[in-house]
């Protein structure tokens, strides 16, 4: 499927401006919207490629630059995490929530019409962001790839006390060899979702490490990535199609 991709800029309610990388099917209206949440290394070539891949699957996908307050346009190198930490440590949930809303509203105004389903997917810090977006926005579902900071860790208080407010089903991918997100942390996420009575799916790839889906990382695992992709599409399509069917039945 041919796609059209571009950078656009929109206003945030706190008075800042945020750049979005937007990709959509060319020559056709995309019936489904998708927020694509970046890794700690910015809206880099990998995140843009993923956004394009979702567009080829029929989504109107946008990746917001969540570091726009401290480093607009930042694209870090995977071997240089300290450069990403400069921006990561300044992120605050209330500010990110305004960014999610700005991206969501931009989608609504530019192609994902009222009633059209919108979901979220995210990677690394974006995996946590996707869950946070599903807490704060009326999404159909969210997919989190190795989302550090959903459970408390030394850098982040986590989101477990907020999962009771989750508005959508979530699919969570973890790497069994991930040293950044411990088994206890992964288990705590599932326990909190179960206690809150939320709809969720937990998938752990025993041979996967942190970043297993990213083909630009040394930790890339092509087998786990190849399995995670169709599971992601099936999950997104299940919930966004259900919304489309409900909308059609009402019309």
The alpha carbon of 101 is separated from its chain's Cα centroid by a whole number of angstroms, namely: 14
Quote the CA–CA distance of 197 and 194 in Å, as a whole number: 5
Sheet of 3-11: strand order equals 3-11, 17-25, 59-64, 32-37, 118-123, 142-145, 170-175, 200-205
Report the percentage of the chain scoring pLDDT > 70: 94
pLDDT at 115: 77
Q: Tokens 């394009």 sit at which residue?
A: 52
Burial of 153 (C-beta count, 10 Å sphere; 0-12/13-18/19+) = middle
Over residues 50-60, the mean pLDDT reads 96
Over residues 38-47, the mean pLDDT reads 98
Query: For the chain, what is the mean pLDDT?
Result: 94
Tokens of 164: 């009771």
Q: 62-91: b or e for each residue (b if 16 or more CB lie within 10 Å)?
A: bbbbbbbbebeebbbebeeeebbeebbeeb
Can you give the length of the chain in residues? 251
Give the model confidence (pLDDT) of 77-112 as tens digits. 999 999 999 999 999 999 999 999 999 999 999 987
Residue 76, φ and ψ in degrees, nearest 5 = -85, 160
pLDDT at 1: 83
Considering only 14-23, 27-36, 104-113, 146-155, which range has the smallest mean pLDDT? Answer: 27-36
Per-residue pLDDT band for 229 (boundaries 50, 70, 90) equals very high
Over residues 218-241, the mean pLDDT reads 97
Is residue 25 within 8 A of residue 112, CB to CB? The reply is no
Q: Which residue has the higher pLDDT, 246 or 199?
A: 199
Angle at the Cα of 21 from the Cα atoms of 97 and 64, rounded to 5 degrees: 10
Over residues 8-24, the mean pLDDT reads 97
Residue 106, φ and ψ in degrees, nearest 5 = -65, -40
Domain ranges of the chain: 3-250
3-250 in CATH: which number? 3.40.50.1820
Alpha-carbon radius of gyration of the chain: 17
Over residues 149-157, the mean pLDDT reads 93
Per-residue pLDDT band for 242 (boundaries 50, 70, 90) equals low
pLDDT at 241: 86
Which of 60, 64, 32 shows the shortest CA–CA distance to 132? 64
Q: Which residue has the higher pLDDT, 17 or 30?
A: 17
pLDDT at 30: 65
Is residue 232 within 8 A of residue 171, CB to CB? The reply is yes
pLDDT at 246: 56
Per-residue pLDDT band for 70 (boundaries 50, 70, 90) equals very high
């Amino acid at each position: 499927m041919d796609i059209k991709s571009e950078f656009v800029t929109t206003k945030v309610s706190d008075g800042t401006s945020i750049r979005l990388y937007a990709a959509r099917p060319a020559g056709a209206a995309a019936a489904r919207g998708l927020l694509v949440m970046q890794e700690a290394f910015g809206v880099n070539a990998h995140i843009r490629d993923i956004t394009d891949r979702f567009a080829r699957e029929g989504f109107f996908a946008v990746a917001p630059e969540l570091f726009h307050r401290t480093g607009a346009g930042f694209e870090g190198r995977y071997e240089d995490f300290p450069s990403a930490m400069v921006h990561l440590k300044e992120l605050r949930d209330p500010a990110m929530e305004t960014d999610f809303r700005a991206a969501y509203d931009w989608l609504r105004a530019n192609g994902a019409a009222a009633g059209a389903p919108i979901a979220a997917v995210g990677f690394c810090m974006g995996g946590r962001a996707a869950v946070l977006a599903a807490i704060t926005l009326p999404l159909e579902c969210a997919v989190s790839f190795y989302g550090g900071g959903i459970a408390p860790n030394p850098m982040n208080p986590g989101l477990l006390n907020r999962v009771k407010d989750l508005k959508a089903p979530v699919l969570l991918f973890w790497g069994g060899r991930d040293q950044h997100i411990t088994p206890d942390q992964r288990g705590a996420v599932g326990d909190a979702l179960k206690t809150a009575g939320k709809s969720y799916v937990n998938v752990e790839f025993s041979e996967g490490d942190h970043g297993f889906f990213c083909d630009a990382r040394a930790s890339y695992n092509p087998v786990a990535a190849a399995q995670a992709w169709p599971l992601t599409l099936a999950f997104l399509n299940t919930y966004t199609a259900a919304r489309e069917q409900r909308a059609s039945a009402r019309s």
